Amino acid sequence: MAAAPVWSVDPRTGKQREQVAVEATAQEVDAAVRAAHDVRAALADRAVRAAFLRTAADELEAAKDSLVEVADAETALGPVRLGGELARTCYQLRAFAKIVDEGEFLGVVIDHPDDTATPPIPDLRRYKVPLGVVAVYSASNFPFAFSVPGGDTASALAAGCPVVVKAHPDHPALSELVASVLRRAAARHDIPAGVLGLVHGFEAGIELIKHPLIAAAGFTGSVRGGRALFDAAAARPVPIPFHGELGSLNPVVVTEAAAAERPEAIGTGLAGSMTMGVGQFCVKPGLVLAPSGAAGDQLVKSLTEAVSDTAAGVLLDHRMRDNFIAGVAERAALPDVDSPVTPGAGGEHTVSPGFLTVPASRLAREGEYDLLLEECFGPVTVVVRYEDQGEVEAVLSRLPGNLTATVHLSSGEAAGEGRGAEILRELTPLAGRVLVNAWPTGVAVAPAQHHGGPYPATTSTSTSVGGTAIERWLRPVVYQNTPEALLPVELRDANELGLPRRFNGVLER
């Protein structure tokens, strides 16, 4: 049987643009993984890795116009949004290059023998080494930052791990183009093209996670797809780490005092956040606890006006559009659920943003309203109207893990009055990033960033954004009583590489 073609599709029309590839066979997946495995030695030199990452950023910037044009044709996200995302991606590559240069990620610790300790301490030298070939599963909603050149790829390469990417079917032409740019950057440093493999097709993704030479995987996508791959990674004869980002409601709590103090600002801010990128951000606020009464009414009025003024938009593909329309219709049909602005079909190829409201009492216990506690991908949010703090606590107690959790406080509460600190304590177990008087959309690439959270937000405790993402693709090794001449250069006493390290209990920088 001939391999199935891979088509680039214009989401604005639903029409096929061009055939860009064919779905990879098991043999082709095997060839890509083995080629990546053979390239590991070419990434051993940290200076070469750092230079490669910087060159990759340079080459992506040089190809910006053509990359953004293709990305827009396949995603309908718009040149402005996509240009910014490409800039973020290049910044991320350079940030990891700096981390590689500094060497702190190696976690070097050296303990000389101490016979006076109980028990005695032998000569121990610890650092971290790359795991091996990493499988990366691209996301639909970030064709640069969470795709072929994105955070998983950048952090894995920084760790010294070659990568095989399973391209997302929503932007296959862009994936092929970006892969060629990255391979061109690799060639400038004598790194073979196998350092970045690229395969297409659902079955190829399954074959990839099962391949015995794959040492770890990174995934961004749905709960259903991510959980299937996570289970497959665990079921292998040799299980591997699977760092999956699966889904998130990103709850928001608006206190009564905050709603009374600035209802218009909160309403318009929520509208902007939940409709940004046509509601296709993984940190879109999907559930908002707002007070009943006059203050909450004003907030809802402001939200209604702002969402009503937001134009219909194109989702990444028609399957997502169909799921969005069906999902909001099913939610809106529940008793006591109102639609101040009805979300749904905006046209033949677009969707209209909107939001639903429901009394908090309906969500305080298990039942048919549990559907409102599931992520709905697209420009919609659920405003839960509460009567008292007890209802807030009851709803929060039923939420799964999230990437973010937000609270909007009054100026007095932010200064320490009232229950601000208590609400923060209630939100902290729910998410990896907790925000105060801000909106979760927009994930800064910074050393202190954490983009992850309790399951199902992610399947591990690691981050996919920020410098510490490199830790996912490393494992520690300790050498005991090893002669200096046989040690890796990073673990020798002289520290000729000038690495940050802990030497006999003292931190050296």
> What is the secondary structure of 32-50 as a DSSP string?
HHHHHHTTGGGG--HHHHH
> What is the secondary structure of 119-152 as a DSSP string?
SPB--EEEEEEE-SEEEEE--SS-TTTTSTTSHH
Nearest 10 degrees: Cα torsion 101, 102, 104, 105: -30
Token representation of residue 504: 């006999």
Whether 348 is a known active-site residue: answer no
CB-neighbour burial class of residue 416 (10 A; exposed 0-12, middle 13-18, buried 19+): exposed
For the chain, the straight-line distance linking the first and the last C-alpha, in angstroms and rounded, comes to: 60
Pair 439, 87: CB distance under 8 Å: no
Q: Give the active site residue among 85, 207, 245, 490.
A: 245
Q: Give the active site residue among 90, 176, 256, 282.
A: 282
Q: What is the rounded CA–CA span in Å between residue 128 and residue 281?
A: 33
Q: What are phi and psi of 352, to 5 degrees?
A: -100, 135
**Does an H or E element contain 262, and which?**
none
DSSP E strand stretches across 262-342: 287-291, 338-341
Of 166, 156, 241, which Cα lies nearest the Cα of 195?
Answer: 156
Token representation of residue 385: 């109207």
Whether 85 is a known active-site residue: answer no
Q: What is the rounded CA–CA span in Å between residue 137 and residue 217?
A: 8
**Does an H or E element contain 380, and which?**
strand 380-386
Report the relative pairing of strands 338-341 and 354-359 from DSSP bridges. antiparallel
Number of other CB atoms surrounding residue 415 within 10 Å: 10
Q: What is the rounded CA–CA span in Å between residue 57 and residue 251?
A: 35
Q: Which of the residues are catalytic?
A: 245, 282
